[in-house]
Amino acid sequence: MARHGWNSGALRWRLAALLGVGIAVLALVVTISTQSGNRGSTRGTTPDGAKVHGTPAVPKGKTAPDVGWGFTHTQYSADDGLDAATRRAEKLLAARPLAQNQHIMGWGADNPEPVQGRYDFDALDRRMDFVRASGGTPVITLCCAPDWMKGGKPGADNTDWSQSSLETAPYPEHFQDFADLAATVARRYPDVRHFIVWNEFKGFWNDAEGRWDQEGYTRLYNLVHKALKKVDKDIMVGGPYLVMDSFDPRRQDNASTTVKGPWGVMDQRVIDAFTYWNKHKTGADFVVVDGSSYTVDDDLLPDEFTATDKFTDVGRWVREQIGELPLWWAEYYVEPGDADDNRDDWSEPHRVAVQAAGLIAMAKGGATSGFYWNPQNRGAACAGCLWRSTELADGGTALPMLGLISRFAKEFPPGTRYETVPVADDDVPNVRVVADDKAVLVVNIRDRPISAKVDGRRFDLQGYEVKWLSR
């Protein structure tokens, strides 16, 4: 989806640009010498992809299916940049450990298997090294697929990094090949105990019937689930990572009659896809969804704060379907993007306040884990980013969104027993609140200063202020 801000693979080729013309010519000679029939170039690949990378600290004991609140690495992250800034970011995150999610191809990772049986994990290794160094709980999303699995050309120099290619699913005849790749990844990083299968049903749309291809996705999911459990039965596996799309509440076609609210009405085709997967999956250790508080038309109904109630309503519906399985939000969005998918119209206090309301709504809907899609870029201005770019001399320092995510993760980890705290009647329309026995999070949803009485205490809040109270 456009929200991911994929940049047509420009990052993938920056190494070639840095090497210079002379080495590029040499690389061409090497490429020609490594052609094997129609397999394409194997330059830079290795056959031992399943070899354990580095010295992973494999967790001992039984793995819990929850990881708590964290973030997803995107195209630019702190694994690359100026040394001092990268080390600063490592220390910053190590002081407030979070779950960190990374895809196996795209969003900072190269094609992991450009030729069948030949692997290139250099970029993914670097990301995993950063996760380890920064004390994160690693999570891997098994997306996307090498070109040869989806009708493209094999070869280290043939990867098509366009968004349309990246979002193409493996062909059914290559589902098992993708499952085998997943198993290779699991063997390479034995410290990764949680795997999400695929991303947003990319490529799984049934054009002929105008609906999701839930049958195809479920077949892929089941093969991957089996392959991962064969590597280690204690690996945690989850899906389906469906986008919980919603429409204007007045819409009739494809509109759900059961999951709706002032924020809109759910797309029945999504509900049908989820229901099919839930019924036909071979197993799951957790369940993953994704979505925005706004409609498919980018409408925040009736306003940006009330729209976050969608996360609560959808979460409760999902929990009714899945029983005791944990619920994760792999992505969640509260601010529509512009034509270029940039989200920088709001002030940072406004953005943090609505994000806080979204976290509260997800928690109230029964979610125990969630990943903030970190919109990191290389510049000084970076709306919603977690840290200043490590490409900058003063990079790697915390930005306001990191403070919210890390504090929420610390105060409300998996297993939190939430409590209801009193809010003065006159203040109810002005604040969003969540609490357990030790902490209270209060969000002023107004763009002006207010006075509020929460949990027996009265205090002042600046416009869009996010305030933590100890109990």
The pLDDT, as a whole number, for residue 12 is 32
Q: Sorting pLDDT into bands at 50, 70 and 90, what band is 199?
A: very high
pLDDT of residue 338: 83
pLDDT digits (tens, 9 = 90+) for 293-338: 999 999 999 999 999 999 999 999 999 999 999 999 999 999 998 8
* Residue 58: φ, ψ to 5°: -75, 125
Residue 3 has pLDDT above 90, yes or no: no
- The SS3 of residue 229 is helix
pTM reported for the whole predicted model? 0.92
> In the predicted model, is pLDDT for residue 408 greater than 90?
yes
- Amino acid residing at 30: V
The packing angle between helices 309-322 and 268-280, to 10°, is 30
Q: Which residues of 106-121 are buried (b: 16+ CB within 10 A; e: fewer)?
A: bbbbbbbbbbeebbbb
In 3D, which of 81, 105, 78, 101 has the Cα closest to residue 12? 105
Least confident range from 38-42, 46-50, 78-82, 395-399: namely 38-42
DSSP structure string for 40-61:
---TT-BS-TTSPPS---PPPS
Would you state the pLDDT for residue 442?
98
How many separate helices (H) and strands (E) can be counted in the chain?
11, 18
Residues of the chain with pLDDT > 90, as a percent, come to: 88
